[in-house]
Every structure is written in structure tokens, then in C-alpha cells.
Structure 1
């Protein structure tokens, strides 16, 4: 569930190509060998190579000044972070690239395969002093002992200072520790002490799928935590879920992506094929555009409708944690159906992507392409706006019809109006809670990986 802390700042919101012919062809056309003195140190050669690649494939390559000195930075990741400052776009006052990064190959291989080695516990502040479990991986240590979303954490290793000012302590003991003891308060008010030991497990991004019969309508609800993991398993689950939705006569679908930071682009495409109406079949899903040196690699993907579910509208529950491949899915569907976004806030905003370039034992990932939908829309660097704001509902488990965001979607389906208030759930968090949650959210992966070959 968590990326190692050392990777967290760099790996926010990934969208890239990996292990595919496109990557191999592109990287073979780049010049990885810097000219220079043969006495140059191995470290400096590595840094020089990184700059050469970046000045070739980076989407804003022509903005990197000739005076940029990669040798002045400590490692590949700090070089990637430094080039972000040159990502200028019309209409945006600040650089738009928040994502170019570098990572050791072995570390990334573990993350991208959906293999985790932690407690499988994700936490967030509901209010000041009210720390909640917001997600649990089923096969993880936390999932194995029955910990649920919505449980309140009142002590960590005996420390009851569970406040936003102590967020770094929480990160260290929830995401970085190998052994931590917790005191949880359950929804019924009882408390339980649990000691967790980190171990390796395979993540399962399919958190929940349900069908509700409400006022004569069938509503399908699907909570999807990530586009990373075992793709065969995910494809089989899609088939099962949407066959169930169709056989039970589902008329509306709510897809919960509020914590889905992305994953494999081909999995996002498969999900789009199930969600799209029949009229989208054969239509443009998305187009990827590289810089002017690599326009020959621009590519267009078209819908190939799957399943018999034929919707004319779709609801997505989103938040700032909804990123990259999740946004690609939403953006691709917008030209073909009524796409309704609601939730705690607008999406993160990442319409660009990259692929990993191997250099020695590192991958570097300079942003390399922009993705747009059928209508050419894709400049959502500020995030996708929502139709209605609803609280995160951290005090409720998944699928609870009283959970704030799901309840708001259901109310709209039944009445045509969103829920406006949620008892005990503030829509606007105070700055301390927002800041504390940003610290807690930093280790969470957000991104997307495209594994398609070049046709």
C-alpha cells in the first residue's frame, strides 16, 4: 500500500510506458553516452547521461538552459526534480511538472508489480485529533486481523498524541516501521489493541463491488483503489463485476476512485471499455502527444466496447488523491456520456506522462508526453472540477449507504439533487488538518504505467 518513504516525494502521480516496444525504440534513439574526458567519475558520467536524455525526450526539453549543471546535484532524483522548474505552459503562472523523478530499478519493480511490504494500513485525519483508517489491503497484516476503514486510532505505541502536529511521528510508525502497536476504537465504541508486523503481500485493488436496489432503481457501486497489480486478476474481476451489474439490471454506476492514484494505463483502458456506452465503440479514447522531436510516436487508442452494460451517465467519487490513469479514464469518457464528479475535492491534475529510461541501476522518468481525449481536452493541470463537494466519510466503512460521498451520489440518482450536509462531517477542513493529511498522503503511490507495445 505504501511506497518506501525515500521514494514518496518523487513518485507522486506517475504516467509512463514500461517494458514495451515503444520504450525500447525510443530509448535506442536517444544518445546515452556523454562526450567528455575519459577520466570523468562514474557518478558524473551518470549525471551527464541523465541530462542528455532529458534534453532529448523531456516534453519541455527546449526550456532547459545550456547552463544547467547536472553534476551540481546529489543524485538522479534531485536532477529530475530540478528540471521541473522549466515546464512552462500558457495560462499557468507556475511550472506544471510536479512529477519527473528517478528511482532505483529494484525499488520501482517492486512497487509497479503491486507487491507491498508494510502493514497495509492507510490513515487520514477526519478532524483535528481524529485519526481514521481510510483503507486496508485485504491480504495485508492489517487486513488479516480484521481492521476496517472507519476505525479510529487513539494510540500508537502507547502515545496518545494523535494530532496533526505529530504527523511525522504517525508516518514513521504507520508507514516506515516494521512493528507497531495500535489502539483502535471501533464504530460501536469498544477499543482493541493490535500489534502489527510488516510483511510482504500482494495488493488487491478491487476493494468492493455491490448492487443496491433503491427506489426501483438498481445502482452498481465499485471501489477501485489502484490500477497496479496482477492485470489478469483485474481483468477477470472486471468481467465478473460487469457481468453481475448487467445480469442484475444495473441502471447507474458509481465508481469510487477517491484514493486511486493510478497504475497501468492498459487496465484503465479496459475499464473504460466496460463503462463506455455502445455508441463509443470504435471512437477515439485518447491520443498521446510527444515533443516535436518524437511526433512519430504520437498514438491514438480507440474504444473496443466490452460487456453488455450500456450507460448514458456515470458517477465518479474523486478527491485530490484521484490522479493520472484515473483522470485519463474520466477524461476519455467525457465526450461520450454524462460524466458526473463528486467527492471531497477536485482531482489532482496530471494530464502528462513518461516511461522509465534505464541508466545503470536507475530509472529516470522525465515527463515525455501529453494525453488528450477525443475533443482534444487534456490541459487539466489544476485538476478536474467536481459537480458537488461531499465529505470523505472517514467514519464509515466502504459501501455504507450513510457514507457521505456515496450517500450524495445515491441521493442525486434518486432525486436529481446532491446531498448538501453530512452530520459530523465538515466539508471544509481547517488548514492544520489539510497540512497534516498532506504529510500522511505523501507516501501513497499515484501514477499510471502503459505496457502496450508499439504497433
Structure 2
């Protein structure tokens, strides 16, 4: 089951009522303790929105243990006077994201030197139903590029769109790759900002040996409140299936509070696809644009292969999120860590390259003389590049496969989630 990005509540009056009920739920407990979440049950629409952002963060934000009490944070007093409302919401989100300090850097985990968080963000829904537009930059170099050089296969993947737009092309490409029996795979992710995790996962299963079947690929690790099923606030967020339909559990509407946020319930395993079995080494060409699902692809291979990074440090995004609908806003709060099979996730400042290289701003992708690929061939040993100069049969030549690669900015920034309900799916039905 998946949580899709929809405008769950489209009518403003319904949004207002939902927030009011939420605030009432948390605001009317008798004799609250000093650190208990409390908020007024009256106020303006903007004040309810600001309160709700804090209340959700206090339960689902990855680093919620660092957040102060409602009274100490005082969202209404701090932000309600800011105009416009979206500026107030963004300012509050930024402040919430700066409490947890990374002891290694002595800076907040979500610090990026700007007045917006490194990961968490807000989108304004208004009353639109239109799909997110695709930016011009997202469609550049939109094809997959392949080249075979001796026992090395080079594969350039510019993005991770929805799997159903790419699966057939990937399957066909890897039929050819399997015939070449490469010992080394070069995965060029220098422009890949991420996208749908199911697509990165499928690519991993095409590359990996069947010997890895059943072994841990990665784990999504939520905060203690979520993993223990104590984020009661999520009962105000409907649970939708992959098609955006409401889901019922024994006659009642399922909510996000019904999701299994435990590590056991969010551990994913290798499941071999295709016939490729020969890969022993994996190189990744990376840059500061390499982020999110691309970094996850690198991380999940590290425990099992001789994996090296060539190029520049990656962006550094070992976290994911799911959308929370508050009035006319979709809020994306960092909510889980992405751990590989050894439990590693600490690349908040990016993954350092094993072979630092200044990559060209206009590379001839797949060319053995391109500086990134040339550095890899040199690292592998031998004189592959000089062989190519005298024996062109050593390279099959660069081929480009035009797939439906462009993805929206939202998808680039989103790690696609497959949140599962805790109950047996046999009890579910959609409406």
C-alpha cells in the first residue's frame, strides 16, 4: 500500500473544522503537565495552522526529542504577526528544523546556510488539482546512456521516475548488459537528484547477484513516537491507496495512525530481477546534485560490493518524509532515516568520493575519455583507454535510450513512500 500525494481536504471549511477538532483534542485536557502539548481552542485560521504545524512536528518529526514544549515555543506569539501567511509557516518550519544539533558538525542537521531547512519543506495547495509541472532542468539529458568497455558497463541514469514509466526499458537494457557479463558496473548519478525509491530499488535488483536474495537492502527508521504507534495526531490524516482512494478497515476509514512505523515493518530486502550475475565491482560517478534515492542506491550496495565513488561529494540526504495536509498546505517534515544493512546512515554532509575528480560542466557522457569514466578505467588497472584508440571493438559505442525520464520537482525532492497499514490487508477495502 502507498500513501499518495493528494490534496486530501479540498474544501477550506472542512480544513478549518479538521484543524479546530485537532486543537480541541490537544487543548482541553484537564490540569496539563508542564511539558504536555497544549494549545488554545479559539483563534484565527492562521493561528490554528501555526499550532497544527508545531503539534505534528512534536510527534512525527525525526528529531522531535529536541523540540521544546508548546508553551516554550509559542507558535502564535512568534509567527502569527508575519505576513504573508506562507511566510509565517515557512519561518516556523525553519525554526522547528534547527533545534537538533549534529554533534559532528556542531550545526543543525537541517542547516544549509539559508533561511529554509535542508530537507523539510512546505507546498501550497490552494484549490488546485493540476499535476506538478516539469521544470526545464528536469528534462535535460533525459535518456539512459549505455556503453560497454571491455568487461566494464557504463550506465547513466538521470533520474528515478515512476517505475511503470521505466521498467520495460530497464528490463531490455539489462538483457543486453547480462549478455556482456561485465565484472564492473559504472553507475553515473552526477545529475540524479533522486525521485521514486521503488525505481532505485528495482535498478538495484537488476544489478545485484541472486546471492543477495532475502538479504537486507535498506531500513526506514522512524522516531520513537512513531515506531511505538503513539503518534495519535495522525488519526486526522486519511490513509489513501496507490490510486488516491480512501481505504476502510472493518467499516471505518483508515488513517495514517494505522500505519506500521516499526523498523521491522519497514525493512526491505533484495529480490533479484533479470539475468545479470557477473558484477563484482560498482563505481558511482557523483556530484553535489546526487541526492536522496541516488544516495540510497549507493548506500545499500556498500555492505555487499566493492563500491567506490568518483567525482564530487554528494548532497547528503539520508532522510525521507511523507506529506501532512494542514489547511491549504502540504507539509513535508523529515520523518525517517534511511539505513543500509549495516545500519549506516551518517552522510548528512554528503558522501565523500574515493576518487575526487573535477567533473566537466558539459561532459560527453559514456565516452571513455570523459574525466569521470576515464578515472575509473585507470583505477581498474591496465590501459583500457589506449586499447580503445587502436581496437574499437573494445567499446560497443555509446547508446542512448529515450525513456519517460522527466519527473516533477516534487518527485525529485520526495522519497516515494510505501507506508503499510498494521492490520492484515484482507480486512481492507477501498471506496
TM-score by length of 2: 0.67
Shift of residue 236, structure 1, vs aligned partner: 1.8
- Matching of residues 340-351 of structure 1 within 5 Å: 340-343=308-311, 345-351=312-318
C-alpha contact 1:209 1:241 (8 A) present in aligned 2: no
Among 150, 154, 157, the alignment partner of 1:221 is 154
Greater share of residues in strand: 1
Task: Return closer, same or farther for 1:413/1:92 CA change in 2, 3 Å cut-off.
Answer: same
Query: How far does residue 39 in structure 1 lie from its aligned partner after superposition?
Result: 4.6
Q: Partner of 1:449: helix, strand, or coil?
A: coil
Q: Does 1:283 align with 2:215?
A: yes
81 and 110 in structure 1: CA distance in 2 versus 1, 3 angstrom threshold: farther
Corresponding residue pairs, total = 319
- CA 1:83–1:453 in structure 2 vs 1: closer, same or farther (change >3 Å)? closer
1:194-241 deviation per Cα after TM superposition (whole angstroms, max 9, x unaligned):
xxxxxxxxxx5xx3322223xxx23222111222x3421222222122
Name the CA distance, whole Å, in 2 between partners of 1:224 and 1:239. 14
1:153-179: CA deviations, max 9, x gaps? xxxxxxxxxxxxxxxxxxxxxxxxxxx
Which is greater in Rg?
2
The residue aligned with 1:212 is 148
Conserved 8 A contact 1:355-1:368: yes
Inter-CA distance 404–377: structure 2 relative to 1 (3 Å threshold): same
Deviation of residue 449 (structure 1)? 2.2
For structure 1, list consecutive stretches of 5 or more residues without a partner in the other structure.
Answer: 1-16, 123-135, 139-203, 419-442
RMSD of the TM alignment (CA)?
3.1
Q: 1:18 to 1:334 in 2, by over 3 A?
A: same
Cα distance in structure 1, aligned partners of 2:122 and 2:137: 26
Is the Cα contact below 8 Å between 2:196 and 2:411 reproduced in 1?
no
Alpha-carbon displacement from aligned partner over 1:4-42 (angstroms, at most 9, x marks no partner)? xxxxxxxxxxxxx8429xx9xxxx9xx843535555111
Say yes or no: does 1:373 pair with 2:340.
Answer: yes
1:94 is matched with: 107
**Which of residues 441, 447, 451 is equivalent to 2:413?**
447
- CA offset at residue 91 of structure 1? 3.0
Q: 1:188-199 to 2 correspondence within 5 Å?
A: none
Name the counterpart of 2:373: 406
Question: Are 2:98 and 1:76 equivalent residues in the alignment?
Answer: no
**Any conservation in 1 of the 2:216–2:269 contact (CA below 8 Å)?**
yes
Structure 2 residue matching 1:342: 3-state secondary structure: strand
Segments of 4+ moved more than 4 angstroms: 36-39, 106-109, 443-446
Change (3 A) 1:305 1:105: farther
Give yes or no for contact 1:286–1:302 (8 Å, CA) kept in 2: yes
User: Structure 2 matches for 1:163-312, cutoff 5 A?
Assistant: 204=142, 207-213=143-149, 217-227=150-160, 229-296=161-228, 297-298=261-262, 299-310=266-277, 311-312=279-280
Map of 2:98 onto structure 1:
85
Task: State the distance in 2 between where 1:291 and 1:417 align.
Answer: 49
Give unpaired runs (5+ residues) of structure 2. Answer: 9-17, 28-38, 80-86, 111-117, 229-260, 386-408, 422-431
1:108 shift after superposition: 11
1:56/1:37 Cα in 2 relative to 1: closer, same or farther (>3 Å)?
Answer: closer
